[in-house]
Amino acid sequence: MTAGLWENWLLPGVWITIQLTLYSAIFAAFVAFGIGIARTSRLWIVRFLTGFYVEVFRGTSALVLMFWLFFVMPLAFQFQLVPMWAAVLALGLTYGAYGSEIVRGAIAAVAPAQREAAIALSFTPAQRMRRVILPQAIPEMIPPFNNLLIELLKATALVSAVSVADITFAAQLSRLATGDSLEIYAIILVLYFVLAFVLTRLMRLLERRAKAGIGQAPVDSGKRSLITRKLSSRQEAEQSSNIITAGGAQ
């Protein structure tokens, strides 16, 4: 592969993919938290509407939605989205629906005693959610959000279908220009892996900081193994003591 192909197509494609992932993730996060919190509402109509949204967007294809926003919307509403924002909107709406279930599940997992304590302190529903429930729920959301973010990164490859010059689009142009499919697609696989690895490390760092903020910092691996050995030794000692006691009683 020549330096010109790398500098003119692949590197700009990497930057476009990073932008797509970032913008789509931000939009999906707003959708996920908005819909996820609304699904815990006491009003049945709110739960019904948000549940309907989740079922619709989980059950439809992100690629078809992208086509609809880019090709059908101008015909139906006389409004044309640029390819980049049509892709961001389609990915954000789709993955926001998946993320809303993560938010709802994490909120439901907060201990009822925490809610009761907040009620006893005369917190309003908004204060309970902001000061008590979400600070405990967010650390539990991060690992599944990490998986969802990686899926979102890989889904950005779909945007080449609406002529967004991401990594996949650049790879197709490079393959047509050089005829070398093996090298180009091998490089693309490595690039996606590197981006996914960086995102995973960042999300793990975010998880550590979130848990540390509520006093749940993960135990270091060395300390964890030491604690495990101590617990095992203590259990063995207790079992031996029980056996000796039982033998003496007989």
User: Do 241 and 120 sit in the same domain of this protein?
Assistant: no
Token pair 């998880």 in the structure block, residue:
207
User: Do 112 and 69 sit in the same domain of this protein?
Assistant: yes
User: Do 62 and 128 sit in the same domain of this protein?
Assistant: yes
Other CB atoms closer than 10 Å to residue 201's CB: what's the count? 11
pLDDT tens-digit series, residues 102-112? 999 999 999 88
All residues at 6 or more sequence positions from 73 whose CB lies less than 8 Å from its CB, including other chains = 79, 80, 81, 86
User: Do 243 and 162 sit in the same domain of this protein?
Assistant: no
User: Do 230 and 206 sit in the same domain of this protein?
Assistant: no
User: Do 127 and 241 sit in the same domain of this protein?
Assistant: no
Tokens of 145: 């959000």
Q: What is the CATH number of the domain that holds 19?
A: 1.10.3720.10
If you average pLDDT over residues 220-243, what whole number do you get? 48
> What phi and psi values does residue 12 have, to the nearest 5 degrees?
-60, -35
State the residue range of the domain holding 249.
225-250
User: Do 239 and 186 sit in the same domain of this protein?
Assistant: no
pLDDT tens-digit series, residues 55-99? 999 999 999 999 999 999 888 888 888 999 999 999 999 999 999
User: Do 42 and 156 sit in the same domain of this protein?
Assistant: yes
Confidence of residue 221 (pLDDT cuts 50, 70, 90): very low
User: Do 26 and 76 sit in the same domain of this protein?
Assistant: yes
Cα gap 182→194, rounded to integer Å: 18
User: Do 214 and 243 sit in the same domain of this protein?
Assistant: no
User: Do 119 and 157 sit in the same domain of this protein?
Assistant: yes
User: Do 79 and 19 sit in the same domain of this protein?
Assistant: yes
User: Taking the model in full, what pTM does it have?
Assistant: 0.81
All residues at 6 or more sequence positions from 183 whose CB lies less than 8 Å from its CB, including other chains = 1
The total number of structural domains that make up the chain: 2
